[in-house]
């Protein structure tokens, strides 16, 4: 029938923003429906964080098995069946997690509606199940969590051997040669995957450095790793055009005023993502959208329409899964009547899953100085950590940025094995206003990578034991 059904809260999109918002709103007592036009789990679970980390791990295990002679391990006939790798990623990682999320939604009594949502006005949404059939819903509150998609650049339409990150995650063969346009974290992570699997990789980066959002001494470690693995990094290189045949693809790029070409089996274009806000009927609901497609929101995630919220990749800030989930909880609580709740991104980490992993939280030394703090930066090299040595992965360091008088932790950067996990301790420290002394008074297990955080804190206090 075409009578609009009634809901308290409708969530559009089931990525790490949408599914978390739906579950939390339901836990807080609301009648919630989530609308998804694609697969449950959004970009993150299906074509983003999770499949990329699965391939990063497989490619790392492959590298390690090729190169453990120092440890007395000689695996001379290591080989790879990439289709099996892909099947493992799809059937044992991605689909397990997406099914898990679907179960969690059901367990929390969230109604799952499979279809494409469009606003009709600021309290009505229409969901199309296919071209002909649909259903309208009246809502009190809506949360827009429709995420983002890869940007297509002029002259490089995604077709054939010109692929986006989704294509790169789903290749069924290891390319002999791969060109990556864009040295941001997505391009660099995927470059690392195929370099580990033996591809000859070329990265074309338009600015002077890859991974511009991480500090140079961290990125240098990744560049060194890439050198060892036959990855060429072309900086200040602008991709101009592409031609492709059945067998290969050729990219023309400009560097230092000269034109060059590079041939490869595939070209991955990873130059950023664009919010999915163009096709939602936002104008019918009266929601303001900026020229770049992002929706402006207040500190609770509320758009200019008081009853409609937006979270995740459709709002300004880093396009990261944990940011989406964090904003989801704030929005769900605000909708459910929590007054004081507001976002605070100070202790939000960012991670790049390269070798070594890079992670950062809070302020860099430069940022803290610019804010007027008296700053001390204390850098503890992982080469002095017993656990890192026993893992045969000693590249990297922990750096603490502390305030000189109080020793309060203002920021931290970790480069090294398990940086993605180590950064959590430092996020807790910053979120709770802890000082270097609080860290040194905490007993850290031995031997562990986490001890290096304690060592960096001792260094900040001027009494280092292990350096």
Which residues here bind ligand FAD, judged by CB under 6 A? 12-18, 35-38, 42-44, 47-49, 52, 116-117, 145-148, 165, 186, 276, 280, 312-313, 319-322, 324, 353
Closer Cβ to ligand FAD, 30 or 165, answer by number: 165
Closer Cβ to ligand FAD, 90 or 254, answer by number: 90
Cβ burial, residue 149 (10 Å; 0-12/13-18/19+) = middle
Name the residue with the smallest CB distance to ligand FAD. Answer: 147
- Report the 10 Å Cβ neighbour count for 51: 22
What are the b/e assignments for 56-82, b being 16+ CB within 10 Å? bebbeebbbeeeeeeeeeeeeeeebee
- In 169-213, beta strands by DSSP E: 177-181, 200-204
For helices 95-107 and 18-27, angle between their N-to-C axes, nearest 10 degrees: 20
Binding residues: 53, 146-148, 182-189, 205, 272, 313
* Region label for 86, one of left (φ > 0), alpha (ψ between -120 and 50) or beta (otherwise): alpha
- Residue 92 a catalytic site member: no
Closer Cβ to ligand FAD, 270 or 435, answer by number: 270
Which H/E stretch holds residue 417?
none
Closer Cβ to ligand FAD, 17 or 411, answer by number: 17
Instruction: Using the Cα atoms of residue 458, residue 463, residue 465 and residue 467 in order, give the sign of their dihedral.
Output: positive
Binding residues for NAD(+): 182-189, 205, 272
Smallest distance from the beta carbon of 199 to ligand FAD, in angstroms?
17
Tell me if 437 sits within 8 A of 407, measured CB to CB. Answer: yes
Smallest distance from the beta carbon of 434 to ligand FAD, in angstroms?
24
Smallest distance from the beta carbon of 467 to ligand FAD, in angstroms?
31
What are the b/e assignments for 162-171, b being 16+ CB within 10 Å? bbbbebbbeb
Binding residues for FAD: 53, 146-148, 313
Smallest distance from the beta carbon of 332 to ligand FAD, in angstroms?
13
Cβ burial, residue 449 (10 Å; 0-12/13-18/19+) = buried
Closer Cβ to ligand FAD, 204 or 456, answer by number: 204
Smallest distance from the beta carbon of 439 to ligand FAD, in angstroms?
25
| Candidates 118, 260, 322, 446; catalytic one | 446
- Report the 10 Å Cβ neighbour count for 124: 18
Any idea which residues carry the catalytic annotation? 446
């Amino acid at each position: 029938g075409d009578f609009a059904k009634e809901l308290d809260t409708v969530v559009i999109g089931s990525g790490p923003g949408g599914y978390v918002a739906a579950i939390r709103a339901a836990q807080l007592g609301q009648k919630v429906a989530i609308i998804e036009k694609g697969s449950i789990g959004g970009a993150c679970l299906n074509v983003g964080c999770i499949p990329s980390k699965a391939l990063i791990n497989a490619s790392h295990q492959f590298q390690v098995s090729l190169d453990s002679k120092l440890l007395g391990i000689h695996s001379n006939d290591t080989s790879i069946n990439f289709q099996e790798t892909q099947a493992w990623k799809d059937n044992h990682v991605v689909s397990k997690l997406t099914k898990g999320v679907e179960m969690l939604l059901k367990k929390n009594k969230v109604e799952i509606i499979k279809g494409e949502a469009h606003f009709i006005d600021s309290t009505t949404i229409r969901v199309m199940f296919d071209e002909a059939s649909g259903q309208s819903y009246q809502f009190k509150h809506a949360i827009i969590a429709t995420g983002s998609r890869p940007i297509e650049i002029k002259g490089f339409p995604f077709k054939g051997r010109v692929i986006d990150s989704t294509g790169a995650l789903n290749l069924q063969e290891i390319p002999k040669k791969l060109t990556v346009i864009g040295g941001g974290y997505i391009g660099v992570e995927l470059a690392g995957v195929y370099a580990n699997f033996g591809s000859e990789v070329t990265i074309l980066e338009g600015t002077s450095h890859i991974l511009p959002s991480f500090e140079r001494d961290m990125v240098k470690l990744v560049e060194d790793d890439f050198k060892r693995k036959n990855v060429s990094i072309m900086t200040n290189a602008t991709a101009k055009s592409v031609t492709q045949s059945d067998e290969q693809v050729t990219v023309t790029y400009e560097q230092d005023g000269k034109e060059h070409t590079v041939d490869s089996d595939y070209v991955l274009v990873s130059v950023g993502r664009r919010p999915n806000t163009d096709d939602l009927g936002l104008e019918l609901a009266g929601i303001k959208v900026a020229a770049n497609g992002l929706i402006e929101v207040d500190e609770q995630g509320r758009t200019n329409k008081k009853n409609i919220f937006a979270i995740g990749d459709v709002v300004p800030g880093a396009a990261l899964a944990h940011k989406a989930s964090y904003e989801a909880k704030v929005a769900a609580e605000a909708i459910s009547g929590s007054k004081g709740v507001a976002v605070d991104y100070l202790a939000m980490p960012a991670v790049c899953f390269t070798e070594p992993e890079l992670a950062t939280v809070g302020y860099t030394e430069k940022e803290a100085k610019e804010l007027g703090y008296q700053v001390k930066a204390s850098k503890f090299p992982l080469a002095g950590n017993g656990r890192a040595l026993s893992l045969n992965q000693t590249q990297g360091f922990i750096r603490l940025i502390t305030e000189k008088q109080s020793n309060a932790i203002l920021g931290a950067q970790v480069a090294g094995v398990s940086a993605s996990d180590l950064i959590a301790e430092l996020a807790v420290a910053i979120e709770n206003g802890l000082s270097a002394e609080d860290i040194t008074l905490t007993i850290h297990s031995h031997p562990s990578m986490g001890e290096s955080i304690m060592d960096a804190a001792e260094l900040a206090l001027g009494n280092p034991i292990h350096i």
